[in-house]
């Protein structure tokens, strides 16, 4: 609910368990009043009056004005601390001439309240345009507060879209140049968040290739701490998500936690700022590094969203809110698509660049026999792509590999009852390719400079409309011709020379170009699913989840490493979009040998996929695979749609226990995987969550064997009975079901 008191000029945003309040002060500035838990038993019409707010900050003699918690911090009103927005004006408007020579540009923006309205259908910038529904399409209210510079013809509309059921507010800005000359935006965050002073324990994820999403907790100190991407994609080194709480006052299931995410897949920045007096702010948006945003006269720019939320149930509660938000409000739910994410087979680790019709068909037959539902041919099927040195950009089926055309394989995959998927990397080109030979100017580069290759490839210039158009046409033709149901959309290098016909705007245009191709493809082919991949987990964020059904989280498929990667991923993203493969016994990256049960236990925590060399496996092992697949299909509604409880985190005892639970408490999945265990050390008690205390539950394993029959009360107090000696790799994946 959005409420405005015209007398006190106070805004109250009331969500399910949280509030957000701000007020227009006598000078017309929009001041943040507070954000946090609503007192228990509060009525919907209990509100903050704002009568006593902030007057103490202001005297002409003090510097306190710089500290004012402005909802948007414009460089002009404030210069001492981090700004939300910095704008360069080329002149003064004619009617405000001051009779002195001007020092230009005028880097001074002041924003004053003009009016507000409430919209039912407002959308942040770069929202999906594919037209596919989300699971919950009910309208949401957006408060739009119009702020105007008193001198310059420049306006900012601050937008607050409420999802009360998840205590989430999406924030973005609409910038309007209403003058006669272009203005240049130098810094543009989507929003600034003000947190209560001392909320300075930060949980975030950082990492690199093959170790994405490493969860880290740290204390912020006075000054600024920055997480960012300086690449064209979301990046491996950090992901734009965070949680903040007062030190040691939050736990997995308790305490007040503030959280946020950016819905943008390009060069982003999050600045965590602690002022000398302990005020904590978070600024999130475009990375000002090599940034440019020019607004022509009359032009408007709508930024993507910074999603903010509040949980009174610790980090676990914050994660569940983000998961539900992504599942219900972000991920596309095509009526033509499957209800649950299908079990996929991907041939990458089985055949790498040695693929051909015969080996793919052999894999497809084995995969189908196991119960796989979607067969995806990975890199190497096109042009001269027999290694990573050539062919990228030439999206034409290789006749040498598929003499009868790809149709033959597609038909066989369909005959076997599976859908067909194809790997593509549509933002790239190998210099050794027909595309590059025809259009050497279509890549990012600076004239007269070397074009630095990475993985022997260059990046196409999505600043050129003809490039974006070409890519759309090529992919569209592939979908039409081969009845493709699934693209694995990869992106395997970072940018080195960001030179584009679009100038510095390339950082934004690249993202907009990728989104537009995905949106157009999905609009035209509602049955097409997309998996986002970027050398593993380099492109995961809410902007991408608006057009991708699932994401590849890491190239590292070692089950033990994956426990850490998946736990970090689970802080913000739901299992429904987390593709996870079972691969070879000896992992190709880490060389570690891991039992099949452990590999399945970890992969079944997300959207199960298989990447093993099925043609090398004995019948007995294939039969084990098939048993797991049958079991996974039984439990996947709970995993893909249920609430996640991280019962024991890795940091606590060298293993991970999680539970997925359907909201009605009737069914759950319990998953324990032990990573490190010293003989005869302690076994933690792991009580379950969310069950009905009085109900009896059966606890069954992947063979459907009933192991226990216990009450919800017992399972939620003593947990699963501890019988066995643990060891590294020990695992249990159990289906818990109300017996009535
Ligand atoms: C990187 C991806 O993450 C892998 O899964 C695979 O698709 C390769 N690219 C193919 O080049």
Low-confidence winner among 459-473, 517-531, 681-695 (lowest mean pLDDT): 681-695
d(CA 636, CA 630): 10
CA-closest candidate to residue 609, choices 582, 627, 590: 582
Whether residue 258 contacts residue 203, with contact meaning beta carbons closer than 8 Å, is answered with no
Going by alpha carbons, the residue nearest to atom 11 of ligand 1 is: 379
CATH classification at residue 135: 2.70.98.60
Query: Which two three-digit tokens encode residue 686?
Result: 């792991």
Q: What pLDDT, on a 0 to 100 scale, did the predictor assign at position 73? A: 98
C-alpha 425 – ligand 1 centre gap (Å): 9
Which helix (DSSP H) or strand (DSSP E) does residue 653 occupy?
A: helix 650-653
Domain assignment present for residue 6? The answer is yes
Whether residue 322 contacts residue 330, with contact meaning beta carbons closer than 8 Å, is answered with no
Domain assignment present for residue 435? The answer is no
d(CA 122, CA 144): 9
CA angle 654/660/664 to nearest 5° reads 150
Domain assignment present for residue 703? The answer is yes
d(CA 372, CA 260): 36
Look-up of token digits 């409309």: 465
C-alpha 734 – ligand 1 centre gap (Å): 32
Q: What pLDDT, on a 0 to 100 scale, did the predictor assign at position 228? A: 98
Higher pLDDT, 60 or 667: 667
d(CA 519, CA 540): 17
Whether residue 340 contacts residue 636, with contact meaning beta carbons closer than 8 Å, is answered with yes
Choose the residue to mutate in 233, 490, 530 for probing ligand 1, maximizing ligand atoms within 8 Å of C-beta.
Answer: 490
What are φ and ψ of residue 69, in 5° steps?
-80, 75
Domain assignment present for residue 588? The answer is no
* Structural domain harbouring 100: 2-330
Low-confidence winner among 349-358, 377-386, 522-531, 722-731 (lowest mean pLDDT): 722-731
The mean of the pLDDT values for the chain is 96
Tell me the DSSP string of 100-162: SPPPSSB--B--EEEEEEEESS---TT---S-PPBS------EEEEEEE-SSSSEEEEEEEEE
- 36 dihedral zone (left: phi>0; alpha: psi -120 to 50; beta): left
CA-closest candidate to residue 521, choices 500, 548, 490, 557: 548
Whether residue 257 contacts residue 250, with contact meaning beta carbons closer than 8 Å, is answered with yes
Q: What pLDDT, on a 0 to 100 scale, did the predictor assign at position 336? A: 84
Atom of ligand 1 nearest to the CA of 378: 7
Answer whether residue 629 shows pLDDT above 70. yes
Which whole number is the average pLDDT over 132-138? 96
**pLDDT confidence tier of residue 286, bands split at 50, 70 and 90:** very high
C-alpha 253 – ligand 1 centre gap (Å): 36
CA-closest candidate to residue 571, choices 369, 326, 363: 326
Q: What is the 3-state secondary structure (H, E, C) of 428-452?
A: EECCCCHHHHHCHHHECCCCCCCCC
Alpha-helical (H) ranges within 371-423 are: 406-415
Which whole number is the average pLDDT over 138-160? 97
Which whole number is the average pLDDT over 157-161? 98
Q: How far apart are the first and last CA of the chain?
A: 40
Going by alpha carbons, the residue nearest to atom 9 of ligand 1 is: 535
pLDDT tens-digit readout, 305-316: 999 999 999 999
CB contact set of 163 (below 8 Å; sequence gap of 6+): 15, 140, 169, 170, 325, 329
What are φ and ψ of residue 695, in 5° steps?
-80, 150
Whether residue 475 contacts residue 424, with contact meaning beta carbons closer than 8 Å, is answered with yes
Query: Which two three-digit tokens encode residue 183?
Result: 């203005």
Answer whether residue 634 shows pLDDT above 70. yes
Query: Which two three-digit tokens encode residue 481?
Result: 């011709």
Atom of ligand 1 nearest to the CA of 536: 3
Q: What pLDDT, on a 0 to 100 scale, did the predictor assign at position 445? A: 98
C-alpha 128 – ligand 1 centre gap (Å): 25
**pLDDT confidence tier of residue 96, bands split at 50, 70 and 90:** confident
d(CA 121, CA 2): 15
Helix pair 619-641, 596-603: axis angle to 10 deg? 20
The residue from 330, 359, 381 where one domain ends is 330
Query: Which two three-digit tokens encode residue 121?
Result: 């259908």
Q: Which are the catalytic amino acids?
A: 490, 555
Which whole number is the average pLDDT over 133-143? 97
Answer whether residue 210 shows pLDDT above 60. yes
Look-up of token digits 């099925």: 614
Domain assignment present for residue 639? The answer is no
pLDDT tens-digit readout, 19-61: 999 999 999 999 999 999 999 999 988 999 887 655 555 666 6
Domain assignment present for residue 677? The answer is yes
d(CA 571, CA 551): 15
Q: Is 581 helix (H, G, I), strand (E, B) or coil?
A: strand
Going by alpha carbons, the residue nearest to atom 5 of ligand 1 is: 555
Low-confidence winner among 202-206, 325-329, 514-518, 681-685 (lowest mean pLDDT): 681-685
- 371 dihedral zone (left: phi>0; alpha: psi -120 to 50; beta): left
Q: What percent of the chain has pLDDT over 90?
A: 92
Atom of ligand 1 nearest to the CA of 555: 3
The residue from 330, 346, 367 where one domain ends is 330
Whether residue 156 contacts residue 175, with contact meaning beta carbons closer than 8 Å, is answered with yes
Q: What percent of the chain has pLDDT over 70?
A: 98
User: Residue 384 to residues 301, 428, 440, 475: CA-CA distances in angstroms?
Assistant: 42, 15, 18, 18
Whether residue 134 contacts residue 181, with contact meaning beta carbons closer than 8 Å, is answered with no
C-alpha 349 – ligand 1 centre gap (Å): 9
pLDDT tens-digit readout, 411-452: 999 999 999 999 999 999 999 999 999 999 999 999 999 999
Domain assignment present for residue 610? The answer is no
Answer whether residue 145 shows pLDDT above 70. yes
Domain assignment present for residue 37? The answer is yes
Look-up of token digits 């007398």: 7
Choose the residue to mutate in 380, 535, 550, 588 for probing ligand 1, maximizing ligand atoms within 8 Å of C-beta.
Answer: 535
Helix pair 357-370, 619-641: axis angle to 10 deg? 70
Going by alpha carbons, the residue nearest to atom 2 of ligand 1 is: 535
d(CA 492, CA 454): 8
CB contact set of 609 (below 8 Å; sequence gap of 6+): 343, 344, 345, 346, 579, 580, 581, 582, 603
Tell me the DSSP string of 596-608: HHHHHHHHTTSEE
Tally the domains of the chain.
2
Strands 578-582, 550-552: pairing is parallel
Query: Which two three-digit tokens encode residue 257?
Result: 């936690």
Query: Which two three-digit tokens encode residue 339?
Result: 């209800």
CATH classification at residue 724: 2.60.40.1180
Atom of ligand 1 nearest to the CA of 423: 7
C-alpha 456 – ligand 1 centre gap (Å): 14
Atom of ligand 1 nearest to the CA of 533: 3
Query: Which two three-digit tokens encode residue 269?
Result: 């920045």
d(CA 643, CA 725): 29
Going by alpha carbons, the residue nearest to atom 1 of ligand 1 is: 535
Whether residue 599 contacts residue 570, with contact meaning beta carbons closer than 8 Å, is answered with no
The residue from 307, 330, 353 where one domain ends is 330
pLDDT tens-digit readout, 555-580: 999 999 999 999 999 999 999 999 99
Query: What is the model's pTM?
Result: 0.97
Residues with CB under 6 A from ligand 1: 348, 378-379, 423, 490, 492, 533, 535-536, 552, 555
pLDDT tens-digit readout, 60-90: 667 778 889 999 999 999 999 999 999 999 9
User: Residue 246 to residues 109, 195, 250, 314: CA-CA distances in angstroms?
Assistant: 33, 10, 7, 11
d(CA 487, CA 475): 9
Q: How many CB atoms lie within 10 A of CB 722?
A: 12
C-alpha 528 – ligand 1 centre gap (Å): 20
Whether residue 214 contacts residue 207, with contact meaning beta carbons closer than 8 Å, is answered with yes
Choose the residue to mutate in 378, 455, 583 for probing ligand 1, maximizing ligand atoms within 8 Å of C-beta.
Answer: 378
Whether residue 124 contacts residue 304, with contact meaning beta carbons closer than 8 Å, is answered with yes
Query: Which two three-digit tokens encode residue 508?
Result: 């934004």
Atom of ligand 1 nearest to the CA of 552: 3
C-alpha 348 – ligand 1 centre gap (Å): 7
Q: What is the 3-state secondary structure (H, E, C) of 661-691?
A: ECCCCCEEEEEEEECCCCCCCCCCCCCCCCC
Which whole number is the average pLDDT over 386-410? 98
Is 568 exposed, middle or buried, given 0-12, 13-18 or 19+ CB atoms closer than 10 A?
Answer: buried
């Amino acid at each position: 609910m959005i409420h405005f008191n015209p007398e006190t000029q106070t805004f109250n945003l009331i969500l399910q368990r949280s509030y957000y309040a701000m007020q227009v002060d006598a000078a017309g500035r929009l001041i943040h009043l507070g954000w946090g838990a609503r007192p228990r038993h509060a009525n919907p019409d209990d509100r903050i009056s704002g009568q006593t707010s902030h007057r103490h900050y202001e005297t002409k003699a003090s510097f306190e004005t710089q500290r004012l918690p402005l909802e948007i911090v414009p460089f002009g009103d404030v210069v001492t601390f981090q700004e939300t927005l910095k704008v360069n004006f080329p002149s003064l408007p004619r009617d405000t001439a001051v009779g002195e020579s001007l020092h230009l540009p005028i880097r001074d923006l002041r924003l004053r309240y003009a009016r507000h309205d409430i919209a039912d259908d407002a959308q942040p910038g770069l929202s999906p345009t594919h037209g596919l529904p989300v699971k919950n399409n009910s309208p949401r209210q957006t408060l739009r507060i119009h702020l105007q510079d008193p001198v310059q013809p420049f306006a900012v509309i601050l937008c607050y879209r409420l999802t009360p059921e998840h205590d989430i507010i999406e924030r973005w800005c609409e910038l309007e140049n209403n003058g006669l000359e272009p203005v240049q935006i130098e810094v543009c965050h989507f929003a600034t968040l003000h947190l209560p002073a001392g909320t300075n324990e930060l949980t975030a994820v950082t990492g690199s290739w093959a170790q994405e999403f490493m969860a880290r907790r740290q204390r912020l100190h006075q000054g600024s701490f920055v997480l960012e991407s300086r690449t064209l994609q979301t990046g491996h080194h950090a992901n734009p998500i965070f949680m903040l709480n007062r030190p040691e006052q939050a736990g997995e299931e308790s305490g007040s936690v503030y959280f946020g995410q950016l819905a943008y897949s390009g060069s982003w920045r999050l600045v965590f700022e602690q002022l000398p007096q302990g005020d904590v702010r978070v600024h999130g948006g475009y990375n000002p590094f090599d940034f440019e945003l020019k607004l022509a006269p009359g032009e408007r720019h709508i930024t993507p969203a910074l999603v903010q939320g509040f949980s009174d149930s610790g980090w676990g509660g914050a994660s569940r809110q983000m998961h539900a938000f992504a599942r219900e409000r972000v991920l596309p739910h095509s009526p033509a698509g499957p209800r649950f994410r299908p079990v996929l087979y991907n041939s990458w680790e089985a055949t790498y660049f040695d693929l051909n019709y015969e080996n793919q068909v052999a894999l497809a037959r084995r995969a189908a026999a196991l119960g796989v539902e979607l067969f995806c041919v990975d890199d190497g099927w096109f042009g001269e792509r027999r290694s990573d040195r050539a062919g990228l950009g030439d999206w034409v089926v290789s006749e040498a590999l598929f003499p009868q055309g790809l149709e033959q394989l597609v038909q066989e995959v369909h005959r076997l009852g599976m859908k067909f998927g194809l790997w593509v990397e549509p933002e790239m080109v190998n210099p050794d390719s027909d595309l590059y030979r025809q259009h050497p100017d279509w890549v990012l580069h600076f004239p007269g400079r070397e074009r630095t290759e990475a993985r022997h490839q260059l990046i196409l210039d999505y600043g050129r409309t003809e490039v974006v158009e070409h890519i759309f046409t090529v992919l569209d033709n592939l979908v039409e011709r081969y009845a493709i149901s699934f693209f694995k959309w990869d992106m395997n290098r970072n940018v080195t020379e960001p030179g584009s016909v679009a100038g510095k705007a390339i950082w934004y245009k690249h993202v907009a170009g990728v989104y537009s191709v995905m949106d157009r493809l999905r609009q035209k082919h509602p049955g097409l699913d997309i998996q986002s991949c970027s050398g593993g987990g380099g492109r995961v964020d809410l902007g991408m989840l608006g057009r991708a059904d699932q994401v590849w989280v890491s190239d590292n498929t070692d089950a033990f490493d994956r426990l850490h990667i998946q736990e970090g991923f689970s802080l913000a993203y739901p299992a429904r979009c987390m593709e996870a493969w079972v691969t070879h016994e000896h992992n190709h990256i880490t060389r570690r040998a891991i039992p099949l049960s452990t590999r399945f236990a970890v992969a079944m925590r997300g959207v199960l996929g298989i990447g093993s060399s099925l043609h090398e496996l004995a019948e007995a092992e294939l039969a084990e695979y098939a048993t797991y697949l049958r079991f996974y299909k039984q439990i996947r509604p709970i995993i893909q749609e249920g609430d996640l409880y991280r019962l024991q985190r890795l940091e606590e005892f060298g293993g991970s226990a999680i539970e997925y639970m359907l909201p009605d408490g009737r069914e759950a999945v319990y998953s324990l995987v032990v990573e490190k265990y010293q003989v005869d050390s302690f076994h933690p008690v792991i009580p379950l969550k969310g069950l009905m205390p009085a109900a009896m539950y059966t606890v069954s394993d992947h063979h459907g064997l009933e192991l226990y029959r216990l009450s919800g009360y017992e399972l939620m107090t003593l947990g699963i009975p501890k019988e066995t000696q643990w060891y590294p790799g020990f695992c249990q994946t159990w289906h818990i079901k109300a017996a009535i």
